[in-house]
Chain A
Amino acid sequence: MTNPAAGVGHPEETESGLSPSEKGRRKFLVAAGWSLVGATTAGSAYATYKFLFPPILYEPPTVFKIGHVSTYGLGIDERWKLKGRFWVVRNMRGIYNMISICRHLGCTPNWFPDQKRFRCPCHGSIYDAHGNVRGGPAPRTLWRGQITRDPLDGELIVNTVIRLDPDPVQTPQGLWVKENVKEINPFYIGHAAPPGASCASNRLLC
């Protein structure tokens, strides 16, 4: 004992009085014990992670039968916003739909016909009638949902889970995606313009 103040301890409780093989055995047991603790923790963590992901969901419907093209006039139609959370848009070339979920943080934007803008009440994102970002913090353009024609009765079917989301281009006017990139199958259905409609009345829809 080099330290006079250390006093008398219990030698069998310390490592110093052990033979090398006993030391090795103790070391192994300690390592094995801690490995077991580690493995149990990792296993529980994985089980917790799996437990938190339900494999079955009971969520609101996402597929809607929305009637014939002829029941929609030119422009943005809000009749499905309450029930299905999407707008139906008809222009001179055909019909498509836009999901009314702000691409920023998921609020529902409002359509202002006088300003010709969608505006989000949560953080002030602004979209134009085509869904391009014209201001505010939104990082991408509005989604367009899948739209198909029912082969039996010709009515339109909108699926709001299958969404079109092309990468936008940054311009001085905002974030843009060209219209011909978005007007593609199955997110767009070509249809003749209603009788009497002309580009002169609403330039936005041409």
Chain B
Amino acid sequence: MDEKVTREIFPRDSRKSYGLVELMKKSAPIVRKEPEDTVNVWPNLLMIEMICAILVTVGLMVLIQFEHAPLRSLADPSTTPNPMRAPWYFLGLQELLVYFDPWYAGVVLPGMIIFGLMLFPYLDVNPKGVGYYTYSERKFAVFNYSFGFAIWWITIIIGTYLRGLDWQWYWPWSNHLEHMNPALVTLIPLHLIFVNWFHVSEGVGKIFTDIIFIGYFALGTLIPMVVWKPMYKAMGLWRYLTFMFFFLSMMGVGLKIILRLLFNIKYVLVTPWINI
């Protein structure tokens, strides 16, 4: 039955507590929809779940025949194992800590990832693509998720295979048992590069970086507003601003990693309180 009709005949009233029971053809428990091809959960679905559980358990039992839970030597505050690798699911975090200060990579960024994930259903206004796998109907949403996912897994792979002694970058073909000399080029904050290039004072260099940082967020928010008007219209102002903040922050993480790896930039923004 149509939901609107239901509401008219049986309006919601705080003084009443009745439900609408419907008569359906066949033995289907699903109302408000045409009778469909349904099957009993016992045994059809339960059997599948049982098989799945057995397969996973057997897989686990087989796995532990080859690999055992690690146990290193007794905890010792005076010596850190070299290199100290976190468990794989935290390696992404550990790798991000190389590129950002701990207040950002360790606290604010994970907080933003969690909060951003929670907000996703409220920011995604696309009504299409519910209940089936599709890329073409929700390209942007899938792109966003994949981008975040990719950063996470790429950093895990870097941490697992490309980091060695003293947490230095080791290629798969370099000798992982030999301590490398530290890079000759040290990390340099962006404003000092401007000081070198344009021969301005440090204060002016910092103003340049402030402009670049704020400009990145301002232009990143304004340009899509003009270019992809339908998207902005569909989302509304606040939803759009929230989304753009998270989107540009995520892209910024990727950008900063690239700037660090290619140009040895330590910070892109330097303020008396925080450095990013």
Asked if A6 contacts B84 (CB within 8 A), the reply is: no
Encode B154-193 as 1/0 by CB contact (under 8 A) with A. Answer: 0000000000011110000000000101110011110010
- CB within 8 Å for A136 and B84 given contacts A10-B15, A82-B78, A85-B77: no
B10 CB within 8 Å of chain A: yes
Asked if A115 contacts B183 (CB within 8 A), the reply is: no
B101 CB within 8 Å of chain A: yes
**How far is it, in angstroms, between the C-alpha of A105 and the C-alpha of B221 when the chains are bound?**
34
B40 CB within 8 Å of chain A: no
Q: What bracket does the count of chain B residues touching chain A fall in?
A: 35 or more
**How far is it, in angstroms, between the C-alpha of A14 and the C-alpha of B84 when the chains are bound?**
66
Asked if B77 contacts A126 (CB within 8 A), the reply is: no
Instruction: Tell which of B91-99, B110-118, B121-129 binds the partner.
Output: B91-99
Our pick among A5, A6, A124, A139 for the contact of B9 (Cβ within 8 Å) is: A5
Q: What bracket does the count of chain A residues touching chain B fall in?
A: 35 or more
**How far is it, in angstroms, between the C-alpha of A124 and the C-alpha of B275 when the chains are bound?**
18
Our pick among A6, A60, A117 for the contact of B13 (Cβ within 8 Å) is: A6
Asked if A124 contacts B15 (CB within 8 A), the reply is: no
Most chain A CB inside 10 Å of its own CB: which residue of B84, B181, B187, B189: B187
Our pick among A117, A139, A172 for the contact of B196 (Cβ within 8 Å) is: A172
- CB within 8 Å for A104 and B102 given contacts A6-B13, A124-B168: yes
Encode A65-105 as 1/0 by CB contact (under 8 A) with B. Answer: 00000000000000001110100000000000000100011
On chain B, the residues within 8 Å of A139 by CB distance are: 101-102, 275
**How far is it, in angstroms, between the C-alpha of A184 and the C-alpha of B182 when the chains are bound?**
30
- CB within 8 Å for A108 and B187 given contacts A5-B10, A7-B15, A14-B15: no
Encode A103-140 as 1/0 by CB contact (under 8 A) with B. Answer: 01101111010010101111110100000001111010
- CB within 8 Å for A134 and B182 given contacts A85-B77, A174-B187: yes
B38 CB within 8 Å of chain A: no
Most chain A CB inside 10 Å of its own CB: which residue of B80, B168, B181, B188: B80
Q: What are 12 sample pairs from A and B whose C-beta atoms fall under 8 A apart?
A: A3-B11, A7-B15, A9-B15, A81-B78, A83-B78, A105-B102, A123-B97, A123-B167, A124-B98, A135-B182, A135-B186, A139-B101
Hey, which bits of chain A sit against chain B, CB under 8 A?
A: 3, 5-7, 9-10, 13-14, 60, 81-83, 85, 100, 104-105, 107-110, 112, 115, 117, 119-124, 126, 134-137, 139, 170-174
